[in-house]
Amino acid sequence: MKQSWVDQLNAAGVPKCTEVRKGVACFCLESQNLLDSVRKILELEYYLQDVSASDFQEGYLLTYHFAHFEEPGQAVFRVLISHEHPQVPSISSFYQGAIWHEQECTDFYGIEFTGHPDLKPLLLVPEENLCPLRKDARSKKSFLDIFPDCKLVEAPPPPESEENAGGQESPEEKASKKKGSGKSKVQKEDDETAQDSGQA
Amino acid sequence: MNIPPELIHISIALAAIAAFIGLNGLVLVYLERKVAGFIQRRPGPYEVGPWGLLQPVADAVKLVGKQLVRPKVADPWLYWAAPLLSFTPIFLLFLVIPFGPTLTGMEFNYGLLLILAFTGLNVLALCLAGWSSANKYSLLGAARSVAQSIAYEIPLLLAVLAIAFQFGTLNLTEMVHQQGQWPWQWNIMFQPLAFVIYFLCAIAETNRAPFDLPEAESELTAGFHTEYSGMAFGLFFLAEYAYIIVVSCVAVVLFLGGWQGPGAPGFWWFLLKVYALILVIIWIRWTYPRVRFDQLLNINWKWLLPLALVNLLLTLIFVKI
Amino acid sequence: MLHYAHEQLQGDYYTRAFQAGAQEDTLIINMGPQHPSTHGVLRIILELHGEYILRAEPVLGYVHRMQEKMGEVKTYPQYLANMGRVDYLHALAWNWAYVRAVEQLLELEVPERAEYVRVITCELNRITSHLLWWGAYLLDLGAFTPIMYGFADRERAMDLLQIITGSRLTYCYYTFGGVTADLTPQFIDGTKDFCKYMRTRLPMYKDLVTDNMILRHRVDDIGIISVDMARRYGVTGPNLRGSGVEHDLRRNTPYSIYDRFDFEIPAYEECDALARYLVRMDEMEQSISIIEQAIQSLPEGPVMPPKMPKVIKPPKGEAYGEVEGARGVIGIHVISDGTATPYRIKLRAPSFSNLSLFAEVSKGILLADAVSILGSLDLVIPEIDR
């Protein structure tokens, strides 16, 4: 009963939930699955709360918060992308409100959102590329250390092949690719976690 | 030396009018701020002089003392000509207004026509000011002011035309003579519709709220006078107040019996009525929100103009009968 | 026009980028960063065709203070003071969102009385915020007087809040586990009086201002925000309720003790600026009702938990503190790495999302309506720029 929105999301084909806290369901996604999941969550009439990024040892973690106007419950999408290739597809074609949020992430971290209509600086001076929220190596913490429940980092984003290519493809291509290549290791892990949390 | 007596008369009248405009400017600034303060539950100016009476003087001194700044790319001639063009015609307007039975600058058979003709010059001044400032907000303000002034001039003229037909003259003194001492003998009793039309158009013509679109500060910062500083702005400001006095004077002459009044007729009645009208205008300004531009034009073309035509027609029928 | 070819008038990076997409014979105009109706340093580049807006692009960042970076270098209690400065009009809601997030991390129980105190002060602050919005919005529409009335009433509430918080605008009153000072009898009596007073003022404002025909014509049927649009842009708060969605965190996911009070969520179906206006006017009444109920059932007890750690060091993890602010859902996402400073703090400012739809909603409208729509969104610029 309490987790009905989680079931709904799971049923809609959004990759399985990895972590359920009080009123919050976290979904760890691969960047190529992101657009697909965002499209589904828009169909479920969720609204976008925010998009934020944070810097970890394993890479940049993008966090998308969604919530519903009528029902309680917050859905969190997490996408981890590597430092070397900070690219992720832009969700601005579904949620136009993300345009500014993504520009802000680019300002602060230098992340590139492929498919974004206009990635110019939003809050910082346009002449310089400051990326003030990037952390130095000393103060960076491990993502796994802080979020032990999220198993995504077991398979860090492959440097060249999937990650980079995934960013530049259109959503349709990605969807077909996903079906063809079958489930990756990450998603299997996710399934197990969902079961774990269900038992708990 | 043989100076014609009319010239001396007019010179004295012009000097008196200049004093009158200056003094009235000061009084109106004070009045407006005090009334605004009263409406907004605050004291208004009260620091400078007793009850803040010297506040307008301080304002004037400040304005005069300020540096005149012209934007680098503004047209130097037109930019400075505009405030003068806005201000100078005012002297002519006051010349024909009958303040009292004998207190008229210049007896003139076409007094009303002169006033209507020369108030039109103000539009040109605002247009020049907006265009020569090389500021986009000023330009928009000027465009608005032209559209608004031209639109509202038509029902205003029609309303005034009805009065002219009724009295059979364009001489303002003659018009006052035709009205009686008591309020029920004033023309407003016979021409209430014309008065309403005239009053609305007068507010619009003088760019006062709620029709202050050419200088709508929440949209166009300050409209046509955005770039003006010091006394150049001061002239626009003074001209605006002077035009308010002019339209109120004309309203008093046409509708409220001029200097006529119960008891002793005289210029005191005239001034009293003028200030009563001005207070109404101030009251409206501090009470209502601003209309939108399309609404402003709709009020004019859809309501005021047809009503003015109907009014004119009815007047003609009555005059013929 | 020849004048505008002048070198110095070419504009900055954003103007040039905007100009690149302009059509022929249009006027590019910068509304802001200094403009009377943007209430702060918001800048909007407009492409005008006559008085009609073809395209609009807000330019942000003029009061950007890098609040999120500050969060990463300050300790948890030090960062509390920043919260009052994000949205200076509803500072207590930001206070609350932050302490909620940290309380979730620390798993702190807040004493009952402290919850009541938070509700009372937060709702009082909401009224002050709406009153200021009301005055400023009418100023945008060219009515000069209401803001004076709004300010005078707001002053009373601010005097009350000053008694217990010690500040007038940028409050830093809530703290982890409770509030820093208990209510005084003077505050309670004053608040009761204020509620009575406001109940006489609000009907007067309705008669004098809300029912004014000019105002109705200015705000009716402009700035239509459909529910779908609100969803795509993440619009929340009164702006959303003006689109007919009864979404209010105080009701949807009742935090604190809001489920104990009887109040309505005003919503209007019209989706226009008038609906948003009416929602806010009604909300003030509901806030008064909540305050009265809370004061009536105010329990005795401490306002801080008995045992508080000397140093705030939340365990590793994350928390998302959500609160219904005067402008919408305020969200603060805190990631903790177990040290005394947050690892990452993300501020979700409702005005940020609310403004982002302006480019879409302003296509083809009049310049005067743009001012009216901007005002109806109730923006606080420091909150957008953070």
Q: Which residues of C touch B74 (CB under 8 A)?
A: 3
Tell me the CA end-to-end span of chain C in Å, nearest whole number.
39
Q: What is the pLDDT of residues C259-312, one digit of tens each?
A: 888 888 888 888 888 999 999 999 999 999 999 999 988 888 888 888 877 888
Based on the number of CB atoms within 10 Å of its own CB, is B58 exposed (0-12), middle (13-18) or buried (19 or more)? middle
Number of A to C CB contacts under 8 A, please give it: 115
Nearest to B134 among C3, C37, C367 (CB): C3
Give the C window 250-289 contacts with A, CB below 8 Å: 252-253
Distance CA A104, CA B82 (A): 47
Q: Are residues A123 and C357, on separate chains, in Cβ contact within 8 Å?
A: no
Q: What is the pLDDT of residues C17-63, one digit of tens each?
A: 787 777 778 888 888 787 877 777 888 888 888 888 888 888 888 88
Task: Give the orientation angle of helix B267-285 with respect to helix B5-39, to 10 degrees.
Answer: 40
Residue bearing tokens 């407003």: B188
Distance CA C249, CA C254 (A): 6
Distance CA C260, CA B103 (A): 76
pLDDT in tens, chain A (200 residues): 445 667 777 666 666 666 667 777 787 777 777 888 888 888 888 888 889 888 888 888 888 888 888 877 788 888 888 888 888 888 888 888 888 998 888 888 888 888 888 888 888 887 777 788 888 878 888 777 777 666 554 444 444 444 333 334 344 443 343 333 333 334 434 444 444 443 33
Structure token pair of residue C87: 């949205």
The subunits that touch chain A, with at least 3 C-beta pairs less than 8 Å apart, are C
Among A56, A100, A118, A140, the strongest candidate for a mutation testing the C interface, having the largest count of C CBs within 10 A, is A100
User: CA of A103: which chain C residue's CA is closest?
Assistant: C60
The subunits that touch chain B, with at least 3 C-beta pairs less than 8 Å apart, are C
Q: What is the mean pLDDT of residues B168-185?
A: 81
* C37/chain B closest Cα distance in angstroms: 5
Task: State which amino acid sits at residue B112.
Answer: L
Domains, chain A, ranges and CATH?
Answer: 4-183 (3.30.460.80)
Res B222: pLDDT: 75
> Are chains C and A in touch, 3+ Cβ pairs below 8 Å?
yes
Q: Are residues C316 and A42, on separate chains, in Cβ contact within 8 Å?
A: no
Distance CA C370, CA A68 (A): 29
Nearest to A59 by CA among A178, A141, A182, A169: A141
Distance CA A36, CA A56 (A): 25
Query: Hey, is the C-beta of C210 within 8 angstroms of any chain B C-beta?
Result: no
Neighbours of A68 (CB within 10 A): 19
Tell me the CA end-to-end span of chain B in Å, nearest whole number.
54
User: Torsions phi, psi of C248, nearest 5?
Assistant: -150, 125
> Are chains B and A in touch, 3+ Cβ pairs below 8 Å?
no
Q: A81 pairs with which residues across the strands? A: A60
Domain boundaries defined on chain B: 63-320
Nearest to C212 among B216, B219, B289 (CB): B289
Query: Hey, is the C-beta of C360 within 8 angstroms of any chain A C-beta?
Result: yes
* A171/chain C closest Cα distance in angstroms: 18
User: CA of B208: which chain C residue's CA is closest?
Assistant: C142
8 A C-beta contact, residue C134 and residue C215: no
Q: Which residues of A touch C230 (CB under 8 A)?
A: 47, 69
DSSP string, B68-132: P---TTS-HHHHHHHHHHHHTHHHHHHHT--SSSS--S---TTHHHHHHHHHTHHHHHHHHHHHH
Distance CA C320, CA C332 (A): 5
3-state secondary structure of C57: strand
Distance CA B236, CA A102 (A): 48
Q: B67 pairs with which residues across the strands? A: none
User: Which of the residue ranges B5-14, B23-32, B80-89 would you say has the lowest mean pLDDT?
Assistant: B5-14
Q: Are residues C37 and B218, on separate chains, in Cβ contact within 8 Å?
A: yes
Helix (H) or strand (E) holding A67: strand A60-68
Residue bearing tokens 């002089």: B49
Structure token pair of residue B201: 């158009």
Q: What is the pLDDT of residues B277-294, one digit of tens each?
A: 999 998 988 888 888 888
8 A C-beta contact, residue A29 and residue A79: yes
3-state secondary structure of C364: coil
**pLDDT < 50 stretches in chain C:** 1-3
Helix (H) or strand (E) holding B8: helix B5-39
Nearest to B154 by CA among B204, B118, B209, B211: B204
Q: How far is CA C31 from the centre of its chain?
A: 22
Q: Cis link prior to C350 (omega < 30° from 0)?
A: no
Distance CA C208, CA B288 (A): 10
Among B39, B217, B220, B292, the strongest candidate for a mutation testing the C interface, having the largest count of C CBs within 10 A, is B292
Taken in order C240, C241, C246, C251, the sign of the CA dihedral is: positive
Query: What does DSSP say about strands A87-89 and A112-114: parallel, antiparallel, or unpaired?
Result: parallel
Query: What does DSSP say about strands C27-31 and C43-49: parallel, antiparallel, or unpaired?
Result: antiparallel
Among C320, C322, C360, C386, the strongest candidate for a mutation testing the A interface, having the largest count of A CBs within 10 A, is C320
User: CA of C151: which chain B residue's CA is closest?
Assistant: B40
Q: Where are the alpha helices (DSSP H) in chain C?
A: 13-20, 67-73, 76-86, 91-106, 112-140, 146-165, 185-205, 213-219, 227-233, 238-241, 249-252, 273-296, 350-356, 358-361, 367-376, 381-385
Residue B218 pLDDT greater than 80, yes or no: no
Q: What is the ipTM of this complex?
A: 0.84
Tell me what the pLDDT averaged over chain B comes to: 85
Say how many CA atoms lie within 13 Å of B260 toward its Cβ.
Answer: 23
Among C346, C356, C383, C386, the strongest candidate for a mutation testing the A interface, having the largest count of A CBs within 10 A, is C346
DSSP string, C26-48: -EEEEE-SS-TTSSSS-EEEEEE
Nearest to C385 among A65, A108, A123 (CB): A123
* A62/chain C closest Cα distance in angstroms: 12
Give the C window 27-66 contacts with B, CB below 8 Å: 27, 29, 35-37, 48, 50-51
Give the B window 71-130 contacts with C, CB below 8 Å: 72-75
User: CA of C36: which chain B residue's CA is closest?
Assistant: B218
Q: Are residues C320 and A65, on separate chains, in Cβ contact within 8 Å?
A: yes
Q: Are residues C214 and B288, on separate chains, in Cβ contact within 8 Å?
A: yes
Q: Cis link prior to A121 (omega < 30° from 0)?
A: no
Res C130: pLDDT: 92
User: CA of C336: which chain A residue's CA is closest?
Assistant: A146
Domains, chain C, ranges and CATH?
Answer: 67-312 (1.10.645.10)
* C194/chain B closest Cα distance in angstroms: 19
Nearest to B295 among C149, C152, C217 (CB): C217
Q: Are residues B218 and C138, on separate chains, in Cβ contact within 8 Å?
A: no
Structure token pair of residue C190: 């004053």
Distance CA C80, CA B243 (A): 56
User: Torsions phi, psi of B288, nearest 5?
Assistant: -105, 150
Q: What is the mean pLDDT of residues B213-218?
A: 71
Distance CA C287, CA C291 (A): 6
Q: Are residues C145 and B286, on separate chains, in Cβ contact within 8 Å?
A: yes
What b/e sequence results for C257-281 when a residue is b if at least 16 CB atoms lie within 10 Å of its CB, and e otherwise? Answer: ebeebebebbbbeebbbbbbbbbbb
Q: C52 pairs with which residues across the strands? A: C49, C366
Number of B to C CB contacts under 8 A, please give it: 91
Neighbours of B42 (CB within 10 A): 12
